[in-house]
Amino acid sequence: MKCIINRRAQFSASHRYWLPELSEAENAQRFGLCVRAPGHGHNYVLYVSMAGEVDEYGMVLNLSDVKQVIKREVTSQLDFSYLNDAWVEFQQTLPTTENIARVIWQRLAPHLPLIRIQLFEHPELWAEYEGNNMEAYLTISTHFSAAHRLALPQLTLEQNSEIYGKCARINGHGHNYHLEVTIKGEMDSRTGMIADLVAFQKAVDDYVVEPFDHTFLNKDIPYFEEVVPTAENIAIHIRDLLQQPIRKIGAQLHKVKLIESPNNSCEVYATESIDRLALAQEPVLAEV
């Protein structure tokens, strides 16, 4: 039986975005505050995902052995380091979140049956790499607060209440929505970036957060005058709003995940990926 296992690790390191072939002004324009010397630091959290058959002992791999491999090949070398100098790969391509994930894959692939590397730079920014040359995924998370009412206009209150329960009450109710937007693309061989992170954040803010925040969705967002603003429909609308702005920054929108509450969330893909969705349904061994 095939199973996916995950191992968590962490390291603290600093880095700087600076290209010597650019002037100080050009570096500042491209990388903003990240050009400041001697750099800045993060507490990185790493998830290593591996797949294989469950053996006679009930394991894909001995997780104690996996822990030692990750420590030997990655964390012992990167922890409390200056990433630009830690590995030779970062002298050619800057140590962005997505490129660090790529290079960690390269370091671990000879030793472990990898299917995914996920690296969190902080809780609102993370990258995923799956071994596809320079292609990677980058996710930012943000939030907005809004109210909505779930009701079909052609139905009575009683009929809507049968479908939507308390969510059909006429004055609506509110949520603190948590939004995760994932893009994918080819990393630049020099900057290590899929797209300009500031431009990515601005697109999400301009097209979603600012228009949606502190609104009554049914009344303030024209799209929801005719469409019931369920979490699913909100996520679909956000996906549609972001497709073109993300293309303009040189990347491709991959996924939108909307967390309505700690108990309810949904996710939609820009281009439906059957293989990826099937992978998500594989049995998963709890992290140790």
The model's pLDDT over 71-123, given as tens digits with 9 standing for 90+, comes to: 999 999 999 999 999 999 999 999 999 999 999 999 999 999 999 999 999 99
As a whole number of Å, the end-to-end CA separation of the chain is: 20
For 128-146, write each residue's pLDDT tens digit.
Answer: 999 999 999 999 999 999 9
Q: Is a pLDDT exceeding 50 seen at residue 275?
A: no
Side-chain-side CA neighbours of 56 within 13 Å: the count stands at 0
CB contact at 8 A, 170 and 157: yes
Q: Is a pLDDT exceeding 90 seen at residue 39?
A: yes
Q: Which listed residue (89, 111, 135, 167) is catalytic?
A: 167
What value, to the nearest 5°, has the Cα angle with vertex 177 and ends 279 and 280?
5
Q: Which listed residue (73, 128, 180, 260) is catalytic?
A: 260
pLDDT at 272: 56
Q: Which listed residue (122, 173, 214, 225) is catalytic?
A: 214
pLDDT at 1: 79
Mean of the per-residue pLDDT values of the chain: 93
**214 included as an active-site residue:** yes
Query: pTM for this structure?
Result: 0.91
Q: Is a pLDDT exceeding 80 seen at residue 163?
A: yes
**260 included as an active-site residue:** yes
The percentage of the chain sitting over the pLDDT mark of 70, rounded to a whole number, equals 94
What domains can be seen in the chain, in order of their start residue? Answer: 1-131 (3.30.479.10), 134-271 (3.30.479.10)
Which of these ranges, 176-190, 195-209, 261-275, has the smallest mean pLDDT? 261-275
271 pLDDT band, cuts 50/70/90, is confident
